[in-house]
Amino acid sequence: MAKVELYDTTLRDGTQMEGISLSAEDKLKIARKLDELGVHYIEGGWPGSNPKDAEFFVRARSLKLSNAKLAAFGSTRRASGKADKDPNIRALIDARTPVVTLVGKASDMQVREILETTLEENLKMISESIRYLKSHGLTVFLDAEHFFDGFYSNHRYTLKCLRSAAKAGVDCIIMCDTNGGTLTSRLREPIKAALETVETPLGIHAHNAADLAVANSLAAVEMGVAQVQGCINGYGDGCGNADIISIIANLKLKMGIDCVSDEQLAKLTEVSHYVSETANLPPSPRQPYVGTAAFAHKAGLHVAALIKHETSYQHIDPALVGNDRRILVSELSGQRNIQAKLKEQGVDISLSREEARHLLGVVKLMESRGYQYEGAEASFELLVRRSQPDYQPPFELDDFMVVERRHPRPGEEDEREMLSEAMVKVRVGDEIIHTAAEGNGPVNALDTAVRKALIQFYPTLEAIKLVDYKVRIIDTAGGTAAYVRVLIESTDGEHVWTTVGSSTDIIEASWLALADSLEWWLVRR
């Protein structure tokens, strides 16, 4: 198939997603990462719309991009105005990018009702804006907004918009499913008509309101479009844009189009997570290709088959996109899950089939009591280690007590706050240590007291930080007597691991997860 160019609009269209706010510095970092991924165009923003985007384009002049060209985004000139006098057009030129993308209406309804101008004037707005920008030596793309809805409303006018842009010398016309509701089956007639109307290269820009953005983008490529637009992780207004992560993987692995190199494809997971981290959004575990659950397997039947042949329940090798296969252990597992999970975690413990079967029974029993090992792999590893006759834990908690009381805030006698104090008895070998500590809540107090005892024997425990703490009520019908599951995520600055505890007492559940976190790290070291 012909070459397909990738146009990323994360830094403009993607930032319209609820919950995203990128600084100019954030956008520069993401632009470098997109360049490493091998996209051909990076849309930096709308320089005429806000000071942040204006700052980005000034600072972006020092960006050294190896693969991508930077594009500035803006609209056609205003109705009844002049292109050379239009402030938005001037801002696009002042951005000093090699590429400019204009958005222009391709729907008669949008022209009449939203722009409130004539159909003929809109055609002039498109052509005059393109000609003026081309006269400055720029590559110009046109986002034909509402193309598909416009086509089914008045196809003659929509195609006139394309002809006006083509005659003006536009370099690519992008057909936009702006409302995101076009079914794939209704995509074909408008694209076929567009291909027959103009010789200018065409592109596709799909929104995801009907959950079809990626499918529509791929269908457009199959019909002959030369450019695909999208956002990393499908970010964007409403339900988002086409996910360029999935598009890249599908083009390369399913359609045989070398839109990126093999080495760049292997960075797909890294780039996806980098952008979500920079945007301060949690990565979606179920995101195709790059999610942590994309190649996760829980059912025992599946795992047994995967051990024999990796393609039995996986459509690609996860390594191709920089991801990994994960074996989950739960009440749905078979004994092969236990064996495979240990191998995956690098645990050098050989279990007989009878031992693995016994451990599986323990897992199912513990999960009936509220534990969940598929998200707490460190606790699962300890469960296996503790089943070995020669295992010696690095410490044991003999007893603990937590006291909470209200007391006046310092300097504010009329205001009172809760104070927690924990007293613990910890055993290390033959030695018993009693310690006490105050904390911001009972779990923090318990954590501080236990560390105070253990640090005498294991000074390196100071490196461990708790980075996430989640509480879940297992059986809401149980009311205040229900089982509580606590998940704790910890880090030593290099590794991250998760542990679980479950009890009808939230403090005991927290302790069990906390103790596993410390014990796992000490055992691993």
DSSP string, 343-387: HHTT------HHHHHHHHHHHHHHHHTT---TT-HHHHHHHHHHT
CATH number, position 110? 3.20.20.70
Cα separation, 302 vs 422, in Å, equals 46
Residues 21 and 96 in one domain: yes
Q: What is the pLDDT of residues 370-408, one digit of tens each?
A: 777 766 788 888 888 888 888 899 999 888 888 887 666
Q: Is the pLDDT of residue 214 over 90?
A: yes
Query: Cα–Cα distance between 426 and 148 in angstroms, integer?
Result: 69
Q: What is the CATH number of the domain that holds 416?
A: 3.30.160
Residue 266 DSSP code:
T
Q: What is the mean pLDDT of residues 225-243?
A: 96
What percent of the chain is predicted at pLDDT more than 70?
87
State the pLDDT confidence band at 420, using cuts at 50, 70 and 90: confident
Residues 152 and 39 in one domain: yes
54, two tokens: 């204006």
CB 512 within 8 A of CB 375: no
> If pLDDT is split at 50, 70 and 90, which confidence band does 67 have?
very high
Domain count, the chain: 3
Within this chain, do residues 270 and 225 fall inside the same structural domain, yes or no?
A: yes
* Three-point CA angle 126, 176, 50, nearest 5°: 70
61 burial type by CB count under 10 A (0-12 exposed, 13-18 middle, 19+ buried): exposed
**500 lies in some domain:** no
pLDDT, tens digit (0-9, with 9 covering 90-100), for 256-278: 999 999 999 999 999 998 898 88
- 470 in a domain, yes or no? no
**Same domain assignment for residues 122 and 184:** yes
At which of 213, 248, 278 does a domain end? 278
- 129 located within any domain: yes
Q: Which helix (H) or strand (E) holds 454?
A: helix 442-454
Least Cα distance to 236 among 389, 426, 429, 16 occurs for: 16
Check whether residue 25 and residue 166 sit in a common domain: yes
Q: What is the pLDDT of residue 310?
A: 67
For 118-133, the pLDDT digits (tens) are 999 999 999 999 999 9
**Could you report the per-residue pLDDT of 168-209, keeping only the tens digit for each?**
999 999 999 999 999 999 999 999 999 999 999 999 999 999
pLDDT tier at 484 (50, 70, 90 boundaries)?
confident
70 & 126 share domain:
yes
- Indicate if 128 and 91 belong to the same structural domain: yes
The single-letter code of the amino acid at 495 is H
Q: Same domain for 217 and 143?
A: yes
Evaluate whether 517 touches 499 at the Cβ level (below 8 Å).
yes
The model carries a pTM of 0.72
Long-range contacts, stretch 59-65, CB < 8 angstroms, 24+ apart: 59/24, 59/28, 60/28, 60/31, 60/97, 61/96, 63/28, 63/31, 63/32, 63/35, 65/31, 65/32, 65/35
Q: How confident is the model at residue 342 (pLDDT cuts 50, 70, 90)?
A: low
The pLDDT of residue 444 is 87
Residue 226 maps to a domain: yes
71 and 210 part of one domain = yes
One domain for residues 186 and 333: no
* List of residues 6+ apart from 300 with CB closer than 8 A: 332, 333, 334, 335, 336, 337
pLDDT over 90, % of the chain? 59
* 519 in any annotated domain: no
Domain that holds residue 322: 296-368
pLDDT greater than 70 at residue 330: no
> Quick check: is 486 in a domain?
no
* 333 within some domain: yes
Q: Tell me, what's the pLDDT at 397? A: 87
The strand pairing partners of 408, in sequence order, are 416
